[in-house]
Amino acid sequence: EAQVTQNPRYLITVTGKKLTVTCSQNMNHEYMSWYRQDPGLGLRQIYYSMNVEVTDKGDVPEGYKVSRKEKRNFPLILESPSPNQTSLYFCASSFQGAKDSPLHFGNGTRLTVT
Amino acid sequence: AQSVAQPEDQVNVAEGNPLTVKCTYSVSGNPYLFWYVQYPNRGLQFLLKYITGDNLVKGSYGFEAEFNKSQTSFHLKKPSALVSDSALYFCAVRDLSYSGAGSYQLTFGKGTKLSVIP
């Protein structure tokens, strides 16, 4: 089954404790992206990747890191989480070659930073 | 810069009645437009898209959307609402004409919560 898999689904952590949210897709998509969803703000892009070893900032990259060492994986790293990073996070992927290609989303990771 | 506005935070409709969820967009060139639906505790699911051609686009679960270039709108519609349509709906835009860095970026609206009342 074609899918984007995020782990974990739920994560509670404390301020300053490094964490990684994993994302993997099995559709051979070049383009991958991370979004955060907050009430009243919709979805905002954090980082995206056009292909292996090619990443760039989205609209709200502060406090986050990403890497793209393999085509299928695109982990999101919070080196020193803070309470304002409490949010619902989504990973998404699509074919790069066509701008009409819709994004495929994972089921989300709900992060709470205390 | 591209942007999307969904003017209604919430839409309530009775089961069996037609529904409309509104979306307006702003791009410098020509738009690619998308609608997504989000059910509780799930990721966003693609419903339909407008690329070019017929202004009325049909998608999944009986939904359709009408593209209006003069009004820069892309409203989502369904002739007869079901209780199971209750969810959060997002409109999104991508600028076809932009070819710089981030040109694949999809900009989302803030979402509209649809409640279908039995």
Q: Is B41 in contact with A107 (Cβ distance < 8 A)? A: yes
How much is the mean pLDDT over chain B? 91
Poorest-confidence range of A31-40, B58-67, B100-109?
A: B100-109
* Nearest residue of chain A to residue B43 (CA atoms): A107
Q: Parallel, antiparallel, or unpaired for β A19-25 and B56-58? A: unpaired
Under a CB-based contact definition with an 8 Å cutoff, are residues A110 and A11 in contact? yes
Closest by CA position to B13, among listed B66, B59, B76, B67: B76
Residue carrying the six token digits 């070819």 = B99
Poorest-confidence range of A7-16, A63-72, B10-19, B95-104?
A: B95-104
Residues of chain A that touch chain B, judged by Cβ-Cβ distance less than 8 Å: 4, 31, 33, 35, 40-45, 48, 50, 56, 58, 90, 92, 94, 96, 99-100, 102-108
Three-state secondary structure of chain A: CCCEEEECCEEEECCCCCEEEEEEECCCCCEEEEEEEECCCEEEEEEEEEECCEEEECCCCCCCEECCCCCCECCEEECCCCHHHCEEEEEEEECCCCCCCCCEECCCEEEEEC
Distance from CA of A90 to the nearest CA of B (A): 7
Q: Is the pLDDT of residue B48 over 80?
A: yes
Q: How many other C-beta atoms lie within 10 A of the C-beta of residue A55?
A: 18
Q: Is B108 in contact with A43 (Cβ distance < 8 A)? A: yes
Of A40, A48, A100, the CB nearest to B32: A100
Low-confidence residues in chain A, pLDDT < 50: none
Secondary structure (DSSP) of B12-81: EEETTS-EEE--EEE-SSPEEEEEEEE-TTS-EEEEEEE-SS-SEEE-GGG-EEEEETTTTEEEEEESS-
pLDDT value at position B74?
A: 98
Percent with pLDDT over 70 in chain B: 93
Question: Using the 8-state DSSP alphabet, how is residue B109 labeled?
Answer: -
Q: Is the pLDDT of residue B101 over 60?
A: no
Q: Is B46 in contact with A102 (Cβ distance < 8 A)? A: yes
pLDDT value at position A97?
A: 61
Q: Is the pLDDT of residue B105 over 90?
A: no
pLDDT value at position A1?
A: 83
Amino acid at B91: C
Which tops the pLDDT comparison, B42 or B79? B79
pLDDT band at B103 (very low <50, low <70, confident <90, very high): low
pLDDT value at position A47?
A: 94
Q: Is the pLDDT of residue B58 over 90?
A: yes
Q: Is A103 in contact with B43 (Cβ distance < 8 A)? A: no
| A65-89 per-position pLDDT tens digit | 999 999 999 999 999 999 999 999 9
* Nearest residue of chain B to residue A9 (CA atoms): B41
* Nearest residue of chain B to residue A96 (CA atoms): B104
